[in-house]
Chains A and B, each alone.
Chain A
Amino acid sequence: MAPGIQAVRDSTPALKRQTMPRAKRAAIVGIPAFFVLAVTGSASLGLIVAALIFGSLYIPAWNTLPLGKWIVPLGVILLAVLYPVYQPNLFDVVVFGNFPSVDTGVTMMIFIMMALGLNIVVGYAGLLDLGYVAFYAMGAYTVAWFASQHFSNVNVHVGGVGVAPNTPGFHISIWLVVIIAGVFATLAGILIGFPTLRLRGDYLAIVTLGFGEIMPQIANNGDNLFGRNITNGPQGINPIDPPGFGNTLHNTVGLPADYLSSTNSTRLFYWTALFLVLVTVFCTVRLRDSRLGRAWIAIREDETAAAAMGVPLMRTKTWAYAAGAFFGGVAGAYYGSFKGGTFPGDFYFNISIFILCMVILGGMGNVWGVIVGAAFLSYLNQEGLANIGAWMNANGVSDFVFRKQIDVPLYTSGIFGVILVLTMLFRPEGLIPSSRRKAEFHEGVHDEPLYDVTHE
Chain B
Amino acid sequence: MADLLTAVGVRKEFGGLVAVNDVDFTIPERTIVSLIGPNGAGKTTFFNMLTGVYKPTAGQIVFDGHDVTGKPPHAITQRGIGRTFQNIRLFQSMTSLENVLVGMHSRLKGGVLRAVIKPPSLKREEIAAREKAHDLLEFCGLSGRDDEYARNLAYGDQRRLEVARALGTEPKLLLLDEPTAGMNPQETAEFTAFVGKLREEEGLTVLMIEHDMRVVMGISERVTVLDYGEKISEGTPQEVQRDERVIEAYLGTAAVS
Contact = CB atoms under 8 A, between A and B. Distances in A.
A25 interface: no
* Interface pairs A-B: 8 shortest CB-CB: A310-B106, A290-B115, A1-B141, A436-B93, A13-B147, A310-B77, A307-B73, A305-B89
Given A308-B53, A310-B74, A15 B147 contact: yes
A287 interface: yes
A292 B122 CA distance: 13
Nearest to A306: B102
Interface stretch (B2-10, B148-156, B204-212): B148-156
B112 A292 contact: yes
A22 interface: no
Contact of A309 (B105, B118, B152): B105
A283 B110 contact: no
Contacts of A436: 93-94, 149
B230 interface: no
A385 B246 CA distance: 75
B48 to A, nearest CB: 8
B89 A307 contact: no
Contacts of A2: 141, 186-187, 190
B120 interface: no
Contacts of B109: 291
Interface in B147-169: 147-149, 151-152, 154, 160, 165-166, 168-169
B137 interface: no
A305 B147 CA distance: 20
B146 interface: yes
Given A286-B115, A297-B91, 11 more contacts: A9-B154, A11-B145, A282-B116, A292-B110, A297-B98, A298-B94, A298-B105, A307-B72, A310-B107, A313-B72, A440-B93
A312 B72 CA distance: 8
A297 B93 contact: yes
Contacts of A452: 53-55
A356 interface: no
B135 to A, nearest CB: 16
A13 B106 contact: no
B169 A309 contact: yes
15 contacts: A6-B144, A291-B109, A294-B94, A294-B98, A297-B91, A305-B90, A308-B77, A309-B169, A310-B73, A310-B78, A310-B107, A312-B75, A436-B94, A440-B92, A455-B70
Interface in A403-456: 436-437, 439-440, 443, 445, 450-452, 454-456
Given A1-B194, A307-B74, A291 B105 contact: yes
Contacts of B152: 14
Interface of B: 48, 51-55, 70, 72-75, 77-78, 83, 85, 89-95, 98, 101-103, 105-112, 115-116, 118, 126, 141, 143-149, 151-152, 154, 160, 165-166, 168-169, 186-187, 190, 194
Most A CB atoms within 10 A — which of B93, B115, B141? B93
B93 A286 contact: no
A319 B111 CA distance: 9
Given A1-B190, A312-B74, A14 B115 contact: no
Nearest to A7: B144
A439 B73 CA distance: 29
B116 A302 contact: no
Nearest to B93: A436
Nearest to B117: A286
B167 to A, nearest CB: 11
Contact of B85 (A305, A443, A451): A305
Query: Chain A contact residues (Cβ within 8 angstroms of B): what range?
Result: 35 or more
Contacts of B70: 455
A291 B101 CA distance: 8
B165 A309 contact: yes
Contact of B147 (A16, A298, A437, A445): A16
A311 interface: yes
Contacts of A450: 48, 53
Contacts of A306: 91, 102
A223 interface: no
Contacts of B85: 305, 308
Given A308-B73, A309-B103, A310-B169, A443 B151 contact: yes
A294 B99 CA distance: 9
B94 A301 contact: yes
A290 B119 CA distance: 12
Nearest to B129: A291
A437 B106 CA distance: 26
A138 interface: no
A272 interface: no
Contact of B72 (A1, A11, A283, A455): A455
Interface string A338-377: 0000000000000000000000000000000000000000
B51 A308 contact: yes
A13 B149 CA distance: 9
A437 B93 contact: yes
A106 interface: no
A454 B12 CA distance: 14
A125 to B, nearest CB: 13
B112 to A, nearest CB: 6
Nearest to B83: A308
A398 interface: no
Contacts of A286: 115-116, 118
A236 interface: no
B147 A311 contact: no
B110 A304 contact: no
A13 B146 contact: yes
A295 interface: yes
B194 to A, nearest CB: 7
Interface string A308-331: 111111000001001100000000
A455 B187 CA distance: 37
A239 B166 CA distance: 58
A10 B51 CA distance: 37
A293 interface: yes
A14 B152 CA distance: 10
